[in-house]
């Protein structure tokens, strides 16, 4: 029996995932969470085989959740579920330690297969994502400027690119406004932006605004 833990702050999504799980005779739900702290507590306290992790939850960033769980529960398999396209977070998710990445637009049958796939110790990726991962390993592949950002910088960059204020971003990612401002400064330096208008223009032009 595959023991699953759902991490998503949207009740409708959680209910949909629960229905899919109950329809699978080889799966059972052992816990759920609506923010990062609950995910860490639940997955370190309960016996969990596969974590279904949403990207956009309140509190601790999902990259940090993956890293901490990889340290505390290295045997735990993490399948990232997202409304974002693979271009935005998929490669970074796998690189951070997730066992798979799946769009929420995929079918329930594909989700069930992805769960079984990662449970067996394999990595679940689509053909398109597999190609991106191969290119990621190519030392001669030229990277875009935003790909040089750290995972946290990239997260802050996307939120800034959507026009959100420092205080709103701080509340969303559970950091102080001062820390978010520091990340903004680093982003400006790394990407050679002179002002917010340039950052937002880059984010919009590259379809990176959250």
Domain 145-205 fold: Arc Repressor Mutant, subunit A (1.10.10)
0.85 cut: is pTM over it? Answer: no
Residue boundaries of the structural domains of the chain:
2-136, 145-205
Q: For residue range 120-158, list pLDDT tens digits in order.
A: 999 998 777 776 666 665 555 667 788 888 888 988 998
Residue 90's pLDDT is what?
81
Write the CB contacts of 198 (distance below 8 Å, at least 6 apart in sequence). none
Which of the two residues, 111 and 103, has the higher pLDDT score?
A: 111
Q: In Å, how far are 68, 82, 177 from 155, measured between CA atoms?
A: 17, 14, 15
State how far the alpha carbon of 163 is from the alpha carbons of 13, 54, 92, 149, 202, in Å. Answer: 26, 22, 23, 19, 12
At the fourth CATH level, which superfamily is domain 2-136?
Response regulator (3.40.50.2300)
């Amino acid at each position: 029996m595959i023991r699953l833990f759902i991490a998503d702050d949207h009740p409708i999504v959680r209910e949909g995932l629960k229905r899919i799980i109950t329809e699978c005779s080889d799966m059972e739900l052992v816990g759920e969470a609506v923010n990062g702290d609950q995910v860490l507590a639940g997955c370190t306290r309960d016996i969990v085989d596969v974590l279904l992790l949403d990207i956009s939850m309140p509190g601790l960033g999902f990259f940090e959740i993956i890293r901490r769980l990889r340290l505390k529960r290295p045997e735990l398999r993490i399948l990232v579920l997202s409304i974002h396209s693979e271009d935005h977070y998929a490669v970074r998710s796998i690189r951070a330690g997730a066992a798979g990445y799946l769009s929420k637009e995929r079918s329930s049958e594909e989700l069930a297969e992805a769960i079984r796939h990662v449970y067996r110790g394999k990595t679940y990726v689509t053909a398109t994502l597999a190609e991106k991962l191969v290119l990621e390993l190519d030392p001669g592949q030229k990277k875009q400027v935003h790909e040089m950002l750290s995972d946290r910088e990239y997260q802050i960059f996307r939120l800034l690119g959507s026009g959100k204020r420092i205080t709103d971003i701080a509340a969303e990612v559970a950091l102080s406004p001062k820390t978010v401002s520091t990340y903004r400064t680093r982003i400006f330096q790394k990407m050679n932006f002179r002002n917010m208008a340039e950052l937002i223009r880059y984010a919009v032009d590259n379809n990176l605004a959250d």
